[in-house]
Structure 1
Amino acid sequence: MPMDGGRESPNERSPNGSETTKNCRDLESLMSSCYPITLKFVDICYRVKLESKSSGSTHCGVRGFLGGPTRKDRTTSTPEERTILNGITGMVSPGEILAILGPSGSGKSTLLNALAGRVHGPGFTGTVLDNGQKRNKSVQRRTGYVTQDDVLYPHLTVRETLVFCSLLRLPDSLSKNEKIRVAQSVITELGLCKCENTIIGNSFIRGVSGGERKRVSIGHEMLLNPSLLLLDEPTSGLDSTGAHRLVSALESLAQKGKTIVTSMHQPSSRVYQMFDSVLLLSEGRCIYYGKASDAMDYFGSIGFSSSFHVNPADFLVDLANGVFQTDGTSETDKPNLKQTLISSYNNLLAPKVKAACLDTSPIMTNGVKTKMAFESHGSKSPNKESRRSIYSSSNSGWFNQFTILLQRSLKERRHESFNSLKVFQVIIAAVLAGGMWWHSDIRDIQDRLGLLFFIAIFWGVLPAYNSVFTFPQERAIFMKERSSGMYTLSSYFMARSVGDIPMELILPMVFTTIAYWMTGLKPELGAFLSTLAVLLGYVLVAQGLGLALGAIIMDAKQASTVATVTMLAFVLTGGFYVHKIPACMAWIKYTSITFYCYKLLIYIQYGEGHSIWFLLGCSQGSNRYSLSCRFVEEDLEGQIHPIVNIGILIIMFVGYRLIAYTALRRIKV
């Protein structure tokens, strides 16, 4: 896939040069324009039910509103309510940054989720208004939400990450080159040009810095040119300089007319000065909402002023924690400090805030009305034309999604499938097998059967165990992208399945090519190709088993444990270790993928086995009927026809993937 940043050849420019220039100008105009959104939230409350056991029991759990207590619960428990948010009111205008501050557990993330429309149910009450109206789908599409955790593919570069996201999220009304130019403009806007060709990385792979990774996450949402941008603790894990650079980038976005709401744990004084408004939470209640520059004066007016120079954010968070320091070292004992702060806010500020939020007159932003502020930025007013921008149309079609996801999967998976350790593992296993069974004699039937069963074990366990981690590891990315409507589940699953085929089959081909000729198996090209075909199909079936287990369990540790136990059962009933399986466990043999692969490999090498019996003199009436003869007879007797074996493996190949797809469908996003 060419990622040339939208550069066009002279042949493309010459016939339609003026049209291309016009399209570029239109694209730049759409990216620079912003439909202004004034966000208001009034009396936001959120409660969850707790379940307290009756006397004599010390266990208590959380039960949501949707699931009531059972008949047994009603007699042994008394449900209680816990308030997460209690009457939070405020607003933020275009061109402003509203910072939600407070200690851990104060309700910052819950409030952001409520503003993003992600909190529902009977426990949620209150009103969220966009430009004085309840949120609709049009405004929802213009809202970007950046979670606290950076959910990105580690092996893709910054540019690849944003280009793939742009190709998936932007509608088909834009050409491919236009989508790439949108991604490039976001890279430039967020100051990522220096690292655009650096991989994202993670805790195990060195990549971009934490601040750059966070800006890439913001870039995901910026591709759709959102008017409202919500960020959950974007500076978490960053040093003071990185946090300042990140908030500076947010400030530049706000200056272009975007409405920004962010939660922060404890910003530095430099970062605090960039906030227009501050909302301070303490145990789900508001103790201050207003201009960031007026916060210290307000608390001083109610008797909580600092006698020494202090970072305003530190001072506010201390108060929210119920701590008040006067000299910088000792804490002043203030009984019921939090309650005092809540009462003062409810009496002094809350009525003014609610009146301002319920006021329908034009909102003042830094002394200038919203409409005038946006005209100075060259943005469009909220008329019908801006509502019908290209960003409100549907995104890519199914086949386009499949193609892009397949390209992304191949780029990301090549590092995982062909890392040096995995290649080393396969080559060493092939060489060891070749050395142990070096040019084995055809009459050494027990050794030959051991070799075939080893191959079946190795290429059953390895792909199954590797693929069981696929969906649990990608769950966060999958849920994030699906919730934003980037693609359908079917296009994702098909791209993942098709993309895995070349990745999973190359190493088995290398293994077979090395081990087959070293071990001296049947020296015929047809036999070699048949062995290779059976082994490649078997690998895909084993991989499907791992995908199904991972999709059902969706927990990496639990899924790997279940996969280990499952493959152990398949290996033990595979037909080599035990021939006379107890009747109560015999059914496991017919579900074992190892059993069918092993029988096919035997058939390729020995056919029906009669020639081997004749070669060894295996006859019940002869003196040469030995343990070796009995071993051969027990392995070859009752052979399932190879066509039946192949048919069962095909059914397993399809069936396991259908199970995985069905399991993914039940995940709510």
Structure 2
Amino acid sequence: MGSSGAGKTTLLNVLTGRNKSSLSTNGEVSLNGRSLEPSEMKQLSAYVQQEDVFMASQTVSEVLHFAVKMRSPERLSKEKRERLVESLLVTFGLKNCENTKIGSVKEKGISRGEKKRLTVACEILTDPPVLFCDEPTSGLDSFMSHQVMKCLKDLATEGKIVICTIHQPSTWVYQMADRLVVLCQGKVAFEGKTKNVEPFLATLGSPVPEFAGVSDHFIRVLSRGVGEKQKDYEVRMQRILNQQQSTHQLTRSESVRYQQQREDKTKKKKIYRSWCFQFFALTGRGLIQISRRKKYIVARLILTVLVSWFLGMVYLRIPIHRDHLLGIKGVIFGTLQMNNILYMMPSLISFWEDYPVVVREYQSNMYSPSAYFMARSLTDSILHLIYPIIFFVIIYFMAGLPLTFIGMTTFLTMCIAMSMIITSLSHAVVSLCGNVTISLTVAPLISVPVMVFGGFLITVDAVPWYYKPLSYVSWYHYAFEAIMIAFFKDHGRIEGCQTVNPLFDIECSTGEKLITDQDFKISNFWFDFVAVGAILVFWKIFGLLTFVFRIRSKT
């Protein structure tokens, strides 16, 4: 127990060995006299953190089913999983809301008390000997606080060690505690059984007034009074700390489960399920999430149709003629560019909105970050496969582009590749930056330069030598070259080229001549596909590595 800023959450982070990336610590953590490494403590304990983070579109039942599937020590049959979930729903009073979505700030869902009980239910699936809870009653009214603490008290009665931090408990909640540790400015002001608190306060000259709660009075004693000088306050706090040190005694836990199970538990692997099992389970959950984002899907579908229709109207039925060659380049440029721009910002935002959930689930040993990243990439790719096809159908036939098999397949392939590359780049950038706002600035700084030197606005040979590397790594360049070759490799004489126009003097007698005038090589056709594929793989791998590093750095 302690006031805000007393060091309660920091203490739990040190004890559990989690969220310590910004902390510098020394000393050791021991349980019943045995020193524990952070990895051992993670395996022996569960940690209910202060913030309850879930995916808003999931229901209570789905959250528990997924947790049981991923965290139960043994692979359970469907019938056993159903019975276990049913038992948890009844035990934690969640039966009435089992089919209700979790919800978020923007979408109404279950209450905060129900979220807290759901968090506890997910954490005890591994039957941990020790359960840490960081302010489990924060934001709850007195009745809901009592319900949550009753669940924790029942777990303690069953033989678990339950350690909670709390700000200022009600009398009912306070009386549930077996032992109390009071923190003040990161130091222990009292440690002992709750029945010893009032005698301790009396020795300080601050007996509990009649009709006042013990916890309320203790916090008042530890707080700096209005008008009290800082020097006087520090002297008073030092007197309390000195009094605590003279009476402080460490005691052994009544639970003996640690000694009985230590050897077995430390030998078990950290994550119970195989990587493939994790991947398919996460893919299934991702598909369910996508199916419930109907407004998001419809909005992006409307945007895709409107942009492709607008672009198609600009280049409506454009002929392959000398006077319209810039228009042909324009429709290719616009299509490739739009298949990047349309998916950059949505990919950045949607990928990162579940980041807190992934961190919590990884800390709970549900799955590895690599399995989540690959599963999320696969589910996102489904949308980024459908939208480019719709875009291609509208723009290709409205613009009247060559109806050849190689031309259509190349154009479609590059449209899909552009959307997938920008999606992978977005995942990589936001994983690297760890912040959506910064990523929205960084991502265009990468994509725009490679677009400028992709061959649309300046030929490859005309690019200054110091910008050549940008041209060589530009996915726009390889896509543009492949499409131009597919359209004009087998095209004979281009209409209108026999007429010399001094205002538009382009040597374009044949399709092959047009290709070479763009500083493209017909022999590079299949190499362009390989290059685009290699760039896609690079951003996938880079995004995977940065994401894994980002998640693991949070533990």
Q: CA deviation at 1:557?
A: 1.9
Task: Tell whether the 8 Å contact from 2:2 to 2:183 is kept in structure 1 after alignment.
Answer: yes
Please give the secondary structure, in 2, of the residue aligned with 1:273.
helix
Task: Tell whether the 8 Å contact from 1:489 to 1:665 is kept in structure 2 after alignment.
Answer: yes
Please give the secondary structure, in 2, of the residue aligned with 1:401.
helix
- How far apart in 2 are the matches of 1:566 and 1:381? 55
Task: Tell whether the 8 Å contact from 1:138 to 1:392 is kept in structure 2 after alignment.
Answer: no
Residue 340 of structure 1 corresponds to which residue in structure 2?
236
- How far apart in 2 are the matches of 1:420 and 1:564? 25
Please give the secondary structure, in 2, of the residue aligned with 1:260.
strand
**Paired residues for 1:128-139 under 5 Å:** 128-135=29-36
- How far apart in 2 are the matches of 1:311 and 1:331? 24
Please give the secondary structure, in 1, of the residue aligned with 2:493.
helix
Alignment CA distance shift 1:386-1:646 (3 Å): closer
Report the AA paired with residue 71 of structure 2. R
Residue 155 of structure 1 corresponds to which residue in structure 2?
57
Residue 282 of structure 2 corresponds to which residue in structure 1?
405
Alignment CA distance shift 1:544-1:122 (3 Å): closer
Q: Which of the numbers 423, 434, 454 marks the counterpart of 2:312? A: 434
Alignment CA distance shift 1:150-1:180 (3 Å): same
After superposing the two structures, state which structure 1 stretch, 241-250 or 389-398, moved more: 389-398
Residue 110 of structure 1 corresponds to which residue in structure 2?
10
Please give the secondary structure, in 1, of the residue aligned with 2:163.
strand
Q: CA deviation at 1:463?
A: 2.8
Q: Which of the numbers 135, 140, 143 marks the counterpart of 1:233? A: 135
Tell me, which stretches of 5 or more residues in structure 2 are unaligned? none
1:334-381 deviation per Cα after TM superposition (whole angstroms, max 9, x unaligned): 97345335424533x544431x52xx6xx6xxxxxx48xxxxxxxx97
Residue 359 of structure 2 corresponds to which residue in structure 1?
479
Alignment CA distance shift 1:503-1:230 (3 Å): same
Q: Which of the numbers 73, 76, 81 marks the counterpart of 1:171? A: 73
**Paired residues for 1:533-552 under 5 Å:** 533-552=413-432
Which structure dedicates a bigger proportion of its chain to helix? Answer: 2
Please give the secondary structure, in 1, of the residue aligned with 2:192.
strand
TM-score by length of 1: 0.72
Please give the secondary structure, in 2, of the residue aligned with 1:144.
strand
Task: Tell whether the 8 Å contact from 2:52 to 2:115 is kept in structure 1 after alignment.
Answer: yes
Q: Which of the numbers 475, 478, 481 marks the counterpart of 1:599? A: 481
Q: Which of the numbers 117, 121, 129 marks the counterpart of 1:215? A: 117
Residue 257 of structure 1 corresponds to which residue in structure 2?
159
Residue 638 of structure 1 corresponds to which residue in structure 2?
519
- How far apart in 2 are the matches of 1:630 and 1:312? 93
- How far apart in 2 are the matches of 1:508 and 1:120? 41
- How far apart in 1 are the matches of 2:534 and 2:178? 62
- How far apart in 1 are the matches of 2:52 and 2:104? 10
Q: CA deviation at 1:539?
A: 1.9
Please give the secondary structure, in 2, of the residue aligned with 1:533.
helix
Q: Which of the numbers 163, 171, 174 marks the counterpart of 1:272? A: 174
Residue 11 of structure 1 corresponds to which residue in structure 2?
none
Equivalent residue pairs, number:
538
Q: Which of the numbers 349, 353, 356 marks the counterpart of 2:248? A: 353
After superposing the two structures, state which structure 1 stretch, 143-152 or 127-136, moved more: 127-136
- How far apart in 2 are the matches of 1:267 and 1:306? 16
Q: CA deviation at 1:251?
A: 2.5
1:11-49 deviation per Cα after TM superposition (whole angstroms, max 9, x unaligned): xxxxxxxxxxxxxxxxxxxxxxxxxxxxxxxxxxxxxxx
- How far apart in 2 are the matches of 1:117 and 1:457? 47
Q: Does 1:321 find its partner at 2:223? A: yes
Q: CA deviation at 1:432?
A: 1.9
1:480-532 deviation per Cα after TM superposition (whole angstroms, max 9, x unaligned): 33333323344333323333321321121222223322332224566434322
Please give the secondary structure, in 2, of the residue aligned with 1:638.
coil
Tell me, which stretches of 5 or more residues in structure 1 are unaligned? 1-100, 324-329, 364-369, 372-379
Which structure dedicates a bigger proportion of its chain to strand? Answer: 1
After superposing the two structures, state which structure 1 stretch, 310-319 or 567-576, moved more: 310-319
Q: CA deviation at 1:651?
A: 1.0
**Paired residues for 1:191-202 under 5 Å:** 191-202=93-104
1:539-577 deviation per Cα after TM superposition (whole angstroms, max 9, x unaligned): 222222222222322222222211112222122223223
After superposing the two structures, state which structure 1 stretch, 202-211 or 308-317, moved more: 308-317
Q: Which of the numbers 326, 329, 349 marks the counterpart of 1:449? A: 329
Task: Tell whether the 8 Å contact from 1:464 to 1:544 is kept in structure 2 after alignment.
Answer: no
- How far apart in 2 are the matches of 1:556 and 1:250? 37
**Paired residues for 1:489-638 under 5 Å:** 489-524=369-404, 527-579=407-459, 580-607=462-489, 610-612=492-494, 615-618=495-498, 622-624=499-501, 626-627=503-504, 629=506, 633=514, 636-638=517-519
Q: CA deviation at 1:332?
A: 7.8
- How far apart in 2 are the matches of 1:470 and 1:121? 27
Q: CA deviation at 1:198?
A: 2.1
Q: Which of the numbers 540, 544, 552 marks the counterpart of 1:657? A: 540
1:559-608 deviation per Cα after TM superposition (whole angstroms, max 9, x unaligned): 22111122221222232233443343233222222222223333333336
1:83-105 deviation per Cα after TM superposition (whole angstroms, max 9, x unaligned): xxxxxxxxxxxxxxxxxx21222
Q: CA deviation at 1:298?
A: 3.3
Task: Tell whether the 8 Å contact from 2:43 to 2:266 is kept in structure 1 after alignment.
Answer: no
Q: CA deviation at 1:459?
A: 0.6
Task: Tell whether the 8 Å contact from 2:46 to 2:364 is kept in structure 1 after alignment.
Answer: no
Q: CA deviation at 1:306?
A: 5.4
Task: Tell whether the 8 Å contact from 2:48 to 2:134 is kept in structure 1 after alignment.
Answer: yes
- How far apart in 1 are the matches of 2:265 and 2:12? 26
Alignment CA distance shift 1:288-1:382 (3 Å): closer
- How far apart in 2 are the matches of 1:335 and 1:637? 79
Report the AA paired with residue 441 of structure 1. P
Task: Tell whether the 8 Å contact from 2:312 to 2:399 is kept in structure 1 after alignment.
Answer: yes
Please give the secondary structure, in 1, of the residue aligned with 2:272.
coil
Q: CA deviation at 1:616?
A: 1.8
Alignment CA distance shift 1:445-1:239 (3 Å): farther
- How far apart in 2 are the matches of 1:263 and 1:231? 6
Please give the secondary structure, in 1, of the residue aligned with 2:526.
helix
Q: CA deviation at 1:454?
A: 0.9
- How far apart in 1 are the matches of 2:2 and 2:173? 15
Task: Tell whether the 8 Å contact from 2:135 to 2:166 is kept in structure 1 after alignment.
Answer: yes
Q: CA deviation at 1:395?
A: 0.8
- How far apart in 2 are the matches of 1:302 and 1:260? 29
Task: Tell whether the 8 Å contact from 2:57 to 2:292 is kept in structure 1 after alignment.
Answer: yes
TM-score by length of 2: 0.85
1:110-143 deviation per Cα after TM superposition (whole angstroms, max 9, x unaligned): 2112322446999645554334433376764231
Residue 21 of structure 1 corresponds to which residue in structure 2?
none
Report the AA paired with residue 104 of structure 1. S
Alignment CA distance shift 1:296-1:488 (3 Å): same
Report the AA paired with residue 66 of structure 2. F
Please give the secondary structure, in 2, of the residue aligned with 1:660.
helix
Q: CA deviation at 1:272?
A: 2.8
Residue 368 of structure 2 corresponds to which residue in structure 1?
488
Q: CA deviation at 1:382?
A: 6.8
- How far apart in 2 are the matches of 1:594 and 1:381? 62
